Structure 1
Amino acid sequence: MKENTPNNKPMQQRKRKAVDLPDLGYDLNLAASSSGDTAERGGDGQQRRLWVKNRSKDWWDKYNSADCPDDEFQKAFRMGKQTFEIICNELTASVAKENTMLRDAVPVRQRVAVCVYRLATGESLRLVSKRFGLGISTCHKLVLEVCSAIKDVLMPKYIQWPNSDSKKAICDEFRSISGIPNVVGSMYTIHVPIIAPKVNVAAYFNKHDTDRKQKTCYSVTVQGVVNPNGVFTDVCIGWPGSMSDDQVLEKSALYQRADGGLLKGVWIVGGCGYPLMDWVLVPYTQPHLTWTQHAFNEKIDEILKVSKDAFARLKRRWSCLQKRTEMKLQDLPVVLGACCVLHNICELRDELIEPVSVVEVSDDERMVPETALRSEVAMKARDTMAHNLLHHNHAGTSIL
């Protein structure tokens, strides 16, 4: 007969000791079975138990309440309660989860709120976790799930290239701004800071920001085309920060569509980081400009201001774009795309931004492309436009 040594105790006694755990500040929830019992039993007859940490949901309960003032809600989530409700309704079918025997699913409104708040404030997942009374890993998962749903469900609806009818209205409005005909979009590229990646780090090195901030910077790019109201009609997201504006453009689907004839007869206006092409109109960059060229550049700047202001509002709304993110590199394009979609929804619904949060974009201060002139036809067309603007009294007079 064996002795009851510390390593050789009767099975019943060892089981009993396993149950006598110290109080760690967690609730012990018993999973309900389909028959209405308070516990589910395993094969050995023991109850299956789930440890859930006590977390306060007071902050979220306040903002989820019908009594929460709209201005307070707008300040926290960068959108009014009605806009938030519309987004929740459109995403319900994609993000809703069923309750399980072990726990209740996080409600749709809370799922969407976690994502929108994280994008709006750029707060760490630890702080977001405390706000919503959820685990850190749960919040991280919710952000990615909701961003993916925004990409799949809302992006095709809210980021659309203009059709023939809206294209004419856009051209007319840009012409009223600048006097330049047949402009269908204003194009700009920003860089979103990231932590140095573990692989291919040189590709993401951002020389422009490194020189400007005097510290090593890494980034990914967001190229966008906007209409006169600052609403994105095309985005290209996620190319490494070492790439110039013209290299990003060449990698974009927009470039491929232009090669297929989509942009025949119209212009997209870009800054000096882009080349002059049959469908890309850029300012004169050579030294010693004539008065006509100066006047033309002033009008180009008025169109470029539309996209620069749109990107400034994008960064102001979604503060996650202003700081190095904790997210993995492969998750960033979906998250940045969600920011662009939510920007469009807010712009279309005239959601205001706090005036105290001012963000300037300076990403256009980059190198001129190696081949700045890629079309003799475009060069002649630009000269004709510049001449007409000055001599038909459409150009500004600040340089005269």
Structure 2
Amino acid sequence: MAPPKKSKKHKKEPRNLNKCKSVSGVPLGPKAVDSDWWDSFWQKNSTVSGSTVPSDDAEGFKYFFRVSKQTFEYICSLVREDLVSRPPSGLINIEGRLLSVEKQVAIALRRLASGESQVSVGAAFGVGQSTVSQVTWRFIEALEERARHHLKFPDSSRMEEIKSKLEASFGFPNCCGAIDATHIIMTLPTVQTSDDWCDPENNYSMLLQGVVDHEMRFLDIVTGWPGGMTVSRLLKCSGFFKLCDSGERLNGNIRTLSGGTRIREYIVGGVGYPLLSWLITPYESNGLSTSMSKFNAMHESARLLAVKAFSQLKGSWRILNKVMWRPDKRKLPSIILVCCLLHNIIIDTGDKLHPDVALSGHHDLGYREHCCKQVDHTGKTVRDDIAKALTT
């Protein structure tokens, strides 16, 4: 929730209206706000030795903040009220000017996009480490509250569009999306370490599960769970599973195929997930028929939507791809959620990322996918029906 606005008690002002008010000795006149932050930042950081910063101003902006200037202004509009409603005490740059909302958002985006230390980000903007920390967390709290409409499960009309696009691209009838999970790696203090947080690759990590549509937009996420869990266990602990299992989600129109076969709504997932009536996994690789092999190939193409979405997410917001240094495990889920919101905002606004932003390798490089042996009889029937439909 956004912090409640506090009522302000106004003191009686002196008659001399030309006298400037100040906070901690910083003048608050119209020129005291750091409004020319981009020109200063670009001049200071665009010619760093050995860097690959684009020479074009607009592309350079995207390079540093992952969004176009137009999308940046939209993000500022979402959080502006929250960022200006709190006392600005301490939020000043080295020249003694108050940080504008735009500069605060830029600092937060750069911290999330680069994953660089607060000291490095602060040096790039001419502010201290504590300012970067304070500004970034204020931004995260505000966007988490104000941008939730960018991450919600589709209504029936929107879902019909998603199903149509997925079938046109991958051939799967009545498919609603793809699911995958990734590890956010952490370094934890000794007092906080436990076997739960230690994952199969001996890293301390937090899991993030996401369901995506044909545009790699996140439709549902769950995070905050220890990396020591399997993805199948994570699924069953999620609200998404409970809604699907109770028939409250993926309960839209049933598709009747040409041969009379009826196919319900479902999503596709990898071998780490159980085969369910609404979650279709590939056939085991041994002794496959021609139709099974064709199904697996088409299934893999569709499933890769989720894999690519996580590669895009971690590549764009590199704070998630670097080892998080002693994060507050109560706050980390908010950081992860905000990165997912920013990922969706880029898609929703029609913004385009440079193709080199996405990770070149797998989003969970070094992790082995553990096979889940759970097979639901109804899910097996649905999978066979889909495979048959794809080969006729």
Q: Does residue 322 of the first structure (1) align with residue 321 of the second (2)?
A: yes
**TM superposition shift of 1:286:** 5.3
Q: Does residue 90 of the first structure (1) align with residue 78 of the second (2)?
A: yes
**TM superposition shift of 1:355:** 3.4
| Cα gap change, 1:382 to 1:195, in 2 (>3 Å) | same
Matches within 5 A, 1:352-371: 352-359=352-359, 360-361=361-362, 363=364, 365-369=368-372, 371=373
Matches within 5 A, 1:21-36: 34-35=13-14
- Secondary structure class of the residue paired with 2:369: coil
TM-score, structure 1 as length reference: 0.77
Q: Does residue 258 of the first structure (1) align with residue 244 of the second (2)?
A: yes
Cα distance in structure 1, aligned partners of 2:90 and 2:185? 40
| Cα gap change, 1:341 to 1:358, in 2 (>3 Å) | closer
Alignment correspondent of 2:6 = none
Alignment correspondent of 2:377 = 376
Give the unaligned 5+ runs of structure 1.
Answer: 1-32, 41-47, 211-215, 393-400
Cα distance in structure 2, aligned partners of 1:161 and 1:126? 38
Alignment correspondent of 1:231 = 217
Q: Does residue 168 of the first structure (1) align with residue 137 of the second (2)?
A: no
Q: Check conservation: 1:183, 1:267, Cα contact below 8 A.
A: yes
Cα distance in structure 1, aligned partners of 2:121 and 2:275? 45
- Secondary structure class of the residue paired with 1:204: coil
Matches within 5 A, 1:279-318: 279-285=278-284, 287-318=286-317
Q: Does residue 133 of the first structure (1) align with residue 121 of the second (2)?
A: no
Identity across matched positions, percent:
27
**TM superposition shift of 1:97:** 3.8
Q: Does residue 179 of the first structure (1) align with residue 157 of the second (2)?
A: no
Cα distance in structure 1, aligned partners of 2:316 and 2:323? 16
Q: Check conservation: 2:310, 2:363, Cα contact below 8 A.
A: no
* Aligned with residue 102 of structure 2, among 109, 128, 139: 109
Alignment correspondent of 1:62 = 40
| Cα gap change, 1:172 to 1:130, in 2 (>3 Å) | same
Q: Which residue type is aligned with residue 305 of structure 2?
A: V
Superposed CA deviations along residues 74-106 of structure 1, whole A, max 9, x for unmatched, are: 111111111000100111112224566888753
Q: Check conservation: 1:314, 1:340, Cα contact below 8 A.
A: yes
- Secondary structure class of the residue paired with 2:183: strand
Cα distance in structure 1, aligned partners of 2:307 and 2:69? 28
What is the aligned residue count? 338
Cα distance in structure 1, aligned partners of 2:250 and 2:121? 44
Q: Which residue type is aligned with residue 181 of structure 2?
A: T
| Cα gap change, 1:231 to 1:362, in 2 (>3 Å) | closer
**TM superposition shift of 1:312:** 1.1
Give the unaligned 5+ runs of structure 2.
Answer: 1-11, 27-33, 44-55, 92-96, 252-263
Cα distance in structure 1, aligned partners of 2:223 and 2:266? 21
Considering only aligned residues, what root-mean-square deviation do their CA atoms show, in Å? 2.9
- Secondary structure class of the residue paired with 1:336: helix
Q: Which residue type is aligned with residue 378 of structure 2?
A: V
* Aligned with residue 188 of structure 1, among 173, 180, 183: 180
Alignment correspondent of 1:331 = 331
Cα distance in structure 2, aligned partners of 1:162 and 1:169? 10
- Secondary structure class of the residue paired with 1:189: strand
Cα distance in structure 1, aligned partners of 2:145 and 2:285? 44
Q: Check conservation: 2:171, 2:390, Cα contact below 8 A.
A: yes
* Aligned with residue 244 of structure 1, among 230, 252, 256: 230
Q: Which residue type is aligned with residue 300 of structure 2?
A: D
Q: Check conservation: 2:182, 2:207, Cα contact below 8 A.
A: yes
Superposed CA deviations along residues 239-280 of structure 1, whole A, max 9, x for unmatched, are: 111111111111111012112312233101111100011211
Q: Which residue type is aligned with residue 158 of structure 2?
A: S
- Secondary structure class of the residue paired with 1:284: coil
Q: Which residue type is aligned with residue 83 of structure 2?
A: V
Q: Check conservation: 1:182, 1:266, Cα contact below 8 A.
A: yes
**TM superposition shift of 1:107:** 1.9
Superposed CA deviations along residues 101-124 of structure 1, whole A, max 9, x for unmatched, are: 888753211111111110111110
Q: Check conservation: 2:37, 2:103, Cα contact below 8 A.
A: no
Query: Which stretch shows the higher mean deviation, 159-168 or 136-145?
Result: 136-145
Superposed CA deviations along residues 112-148 of structure 1, whole A, max 9, x for unmatched, are: 1111110111110001111222221121121111111
Q: Does residue 346 of the first structure (1) align with residue 359 of the second (2)?
A: no
Q: Which residue type is aligned with residue 193 of structure 1?
A: I
Q: Check conservation: 1:144, 1:331, Cα contact below 8 A.
A: no
Alignment correspondent of 1:395 = none
* Aligned with residue 140 of structure 2, among 126, 132, 147: 147
Q: Check conservation: 1:190, 1:223, Cα contact below 8 A.
A: yes
**TM superposition shift of 1:62:** 2.6
| Cα gap change, 1:354 to 1:179, in 2 (>3 Å) | closer
* Aligned with residue 207 of structure 2, among 221, 241, 252: 221
Q: Which residue type is aligned with residue 236 of structure 1?
A: V
Alignment correspondent of 1:27 = none
Superposed CA deviations along residues 40-64 of structure 1, whole A, max 9, x for unmatched, are: 9xxxxxxx9769xxxx999754348
* Aligned with residue 115 of structure 2, among 98, 102, 122: 122
Cα distance in structure 2, aligned partners of 1:199 and 1:242? 14
Larger Rg: 1
Cα distance in structure 1, aligned partners of 2:155 and 2:184? 30
| Cα gap change, 1:140 to 1:270, in 2 (>3 Å) | same
Cα distance in structure 1, aligned partners of 2:20 and 2:153? 56
